[in-house]
Chains A and B, each alone.
Chain A
């Protein structure tokens, strides 16, 4: 009778598959991300299980290992931290406390003067403006 050696899976992969059971395991960085995704993706929790994995190297190693033993293209999913915030807008609506329209008198209209400021010298801006420095 032919014998067949069955290679044991790493403890990380075993635990991942055990935790996910029949659901697809999706690895995330930390527990906080896992909770966020659990809340966001309530509808699909019967199909997916989010697992906090921490270390990125460990996470990639498990993903590669799972690919070796599975015919599926991505047997284990990974959610990058940045993808968690896709719904968050880039710009928020922030407004001043008070606003008042005023009229400003123009005192002078002339090209502004250039004034060199030596960052290492102790002299002050005002002196240079008055032409005392340099």
Chain B
């Protein structure tokens, strides 16, 4: 094993990206696969004239963004979720996501809307790209129920969980200046 690979292996043992959980407990950084999300159609009009509306039932892999303390202490009725995608599969849909430059730009924080999650051996999961631009809100009871049906699932460990939360905050709080300082 090379020096770099050895160091990486030691860091993975000491600071693993994920822990395994089971059941309906929810915390920030929980990864849920193929979660159904109901979204009103983009062309929905106002005022609503009917007793029913058309909606899209989409499935996404999602990650829990709501703070763990708010979930555990029942401070919120809903759970905020962001979508994430397998990097290889995403690269097939959008060629720019298959490029090393793009991966580096995201890893180095130059594309605030996105964040990378590490791969995992068991249960198997490839590298993931989290999209903070697609945010969903689902009832907590539903997400709990859905999570308990997932079997063994991944939960992001500290400090990666805090990194996720900070990246999300950075995307939201970013400010574009009308003009930059020229030095």
Q: Please choose the segment from B106-114, B119-127, B157-165 that sits at the chain A interface, where 4 or more of its residues have CB less than 8 A away.
A: B106-114
CB distance from B96 to the nearest CB of A (A): 5
A6 at interface, CB cutoff 8 A:
no
A contact residues, range: 35 or more
Assess whether B51 is in contact with A105, with CB atoms less than 8 Å apart.
Answer: yes
- Closest chain A residue, CB of each to CB of B96: A89
Assess whether A84 is in contact with B111, with CB atoms less than 8 Å apart.
Answer: no
Instruction: Determine the distance from Cα of A109 to Cα of B52 in the docked complex, in whole angstroms.
Output: 11
B interface residues with partner A (beta carbon < 8 Å): 34, 37-38, 40-41, 48, 50-61, 73-77, 83, 85, 90, 93-94, 96-97, 99-102, 104-105, 108, 110-111, 113-114, 129, 131, 133-134
A residues in contact with B51, CB < 8 Å: 105-106
Q: A85-B108, A106-B53 are in contact. List 16 more A-B contacts (CB 8 A).
A: A36-B100, A87-B101, A88-B110, A90-B113, A92-B131, A94-B83, A94-B85, A96-B83, A97-B34, A97-B59, A99-B57, A99-B59, A102-B56, A102-B57, A103-B54, A104-B55
A residues in contact with B41, CB < 8 Å: 101
Of the A-B pairs whose beta carbons lie under 8 Å apart in the complex, a sample of 18, sorted by A's number, is A82-B110, A85-B110, A90-B111, A92-B114, A92-B129, A93-B94, A94-B83, A96-B59, A97-B34, A97-B60, A100-B56, A101-B41, A102-B38, A102-B54, A103-B53, A106-B51, A124-B73, A124-B75
A1 at interface, CB cutoff 8 A:
no
Instruction: Determine the distance from Cα of A71 to Cα of B54 in the docked complex, in whole angstroms.
Output: 69
Decide: A103 near B74, CB < 8 A? Known: A36-B101, A91-B133, A92-B96. Answer: no
A residues in contact with B73, CB < 8 Å: 122, 124
* B58 contact from A82, A93, A99, A129, Cβ within 8 A: A99
Instruction: Determine the distance from Cα of A104 to Cα of B93 in the docked complex, in whole angstroms.
Output: 30
Assess whether A99 is in contact with B101, with CB atoms less than 8 Å apart.
Answer: no
